[in-house]
Amino acid sequence: MKQLIALAAALVVAAIPSRAHAQTAAQPPVLRVTLEDAIRDGLQRSHRLAEAAARGEAADAVTAERHAATLPQVAALAGYARTNHVDTFGILLPTNELKIIYPDVPDNYRTRLDLQWPIYTGGRLDAVERAARAEARASSDDLAAARADLRLEITRAYWALVTAREALRVVEESVIRIDAHLQDVRNQLTAGLVPPNEVLSVEAQESRQRMLRIQARTTRDVTEAELARLIGAAPGTPIEPAASLEEVSVEPGGPQALAALLERARQQRPERAALTTRVAAAAERVTAAAAGTKPTIAVAGGFDYARPNPRIFPRDAAWKASWDASINLMWPLFDGHRARAEVAEAVATSRASEERLADFDTMLAVEVRQRGSELESSRAAIDAANDAVRSATEARRVVGERFAAGVATSTDVLDAQVALLQAELDRTQAIANARLAEARLARALGQ
């Protein structure tokens, strides 16, 4: 019995490393990506862009459909009809021969090759086609705008992950520092150099730093999952940004005239191009609606091969051919003011498109100004944050030396550590904000 227990224990001990190895092997490998890689993967795998591209293909198909309406339409028709029996009708010829004029033919077969061609529609079909082409161009601009939005969203998520990872690193370093400081304070308490409340204060601060570490880790996991979603990575894939905030060097740029930036934005923003194109499409729809009161001319024709052929007299139960050609004019003299209502609708839609474009121009001017101001302020904040980190680092060193000499309290040391932690976090956020401000300004300019 003892041998069986020992064997089972040995098997359990041997299985523990294997299970740990299996769990380690099951974890997905860390995905190390640069910002350019993240943007490229996101643009290639985005379902949002695939949807926009499909809508663009649908708009192109509508354009082809509108163009096809101006071309000749040829159709092959065939049919069969069964009728009731009738009495045959004929006349008696002088030769005493009965000539059947209307025979009893219950089985009727008909085939026709039909042609329809609208040669003049008052410009309606041409205007509708031009409107469809404009809408197709607007769809391509919508796709470009969606790509720019996704690029900015990936950039935001990328720098948010970089910031979250850096914040977690700073908090973990703070936890390590405060643990070492707590050990020093406990040693001083044992030696009778500090009162017990000093140890309690450090322990409380340590608990707070651990809580901050948990929050920072949660923020890191959330931003990591968001970036993984945007670039099409598998859920749960750990991502390590290749860009380090310590390597980022943001050089202050010279001021650019707001008017020049605004003009660039008006020329490059795909949203404005789409709105401008849709204004033109709305104007074409007004032309198409106004053509509803004009006459239309169409050419028609066909070739019939039927048994019996109703165009041939006398009726005969045999396959015979016939053809026809015509030109038709249709002029709506009164349609219950339908065409007038269509014109009014098209004019109102066109005016709405123009107002939307004007509103976008107003918002664009504000957006460009805001993004430019954000970039300038974020660049200035980096220098201030660097100065704050240097000052906080030196202050912590001085307070640590004074505490070791017995002329400073542990509270002073904790305050210095918290100040350094806050300065490092502020610097991290300032650099990430500068990069994000650059991306937002580029998006506002349509780049």
pLDDT digits (tens, 9 = 90+) for 54-107: 999 999 999 999 999 999 999 999 999 999 999 888 888 888 888 888 888 999
Q: Do the Cβ atoms of 227 and 239 come closer than 8 Å?
A: yes
User: Is 28-71+123-295+337-444 assigned to CATH 1.10.10.10?
Assistant: no
Tokens, residue 165: 């990872």
Give pLDDT, residue 256: 53
Rounded Cα distance between 347 and 341, Å, is 10
- pLDDT (tens digit, 9 = 90+) per residue, 281-322? 999 999 999 998 899 999 999 999 999 998 888 888 899 999
Strands 296-307 and 107-120: antiparallel
Residue 159 DSSP symbol: H
Q: Give residues with Cβ within 8 angstroms of 234, minimum separation 6.
A: 28, 228
Extents of the domains making up the chain: 28-71+123-295+337-444, 73-85+96-120+296-330
> What's the pLDDT score for residue 5?
41
State CA 354 to chain mean position distance. Answer: 25
Contact present, 178 and 209 (Cβ < 8 Å): yes
Identify the DSSP state of 255. Answer: P
CA distance to 146, 172, 344, per residue, from 351 (Å): 25, 59, 11
Tens digit of each residue's pLDDT (9 = 90 or more) over 82-93 = 999 998 888 888
User: Among 377, 388, 431, which residue's Cα sits nearest to residue 248?
Assistant: 431
Residues 317, 309: Cα–Cα separation, whole Å? 8
Please list the ranges in the chain whose pLDDT falls under 70: 1-27, 244-257, 410-411
For residue 64 the two structure tokens come to 């082809």
Q: Supply the pLDDT for residue 204.
A: 85
Query: What DSSP state is assigned to residue 254?
Result: P
Cα four-point dihedral sign 176, 182, 185, 187: negative
Instruction: Provide the phi-psi class of 356: left if phi over 0, else alpha when psi is between -120 and 50, else beta.
Output: alpha
Where residue 232 falls (left for φ over 0; alpha for ψ -120 to 50; beta otherwise) is left
Residue whose token pair is 């009893």:
104
Q: What is the pTM of this model?
A: 0.77
pLDDT score of 26: 57
Contact between 361 and 266 under an 8 Å Cβ cutoff? The reply is yes
Compute how many other C-beta atoms are within 10 angstroms of the C-beta atom of residue 19. Answer: 9
Measured CA to CA, the distance from residue 281 to residue 139 in angstroms comes to 12
Who's near 22: CB < 8 A, 6+ residues apart?
none
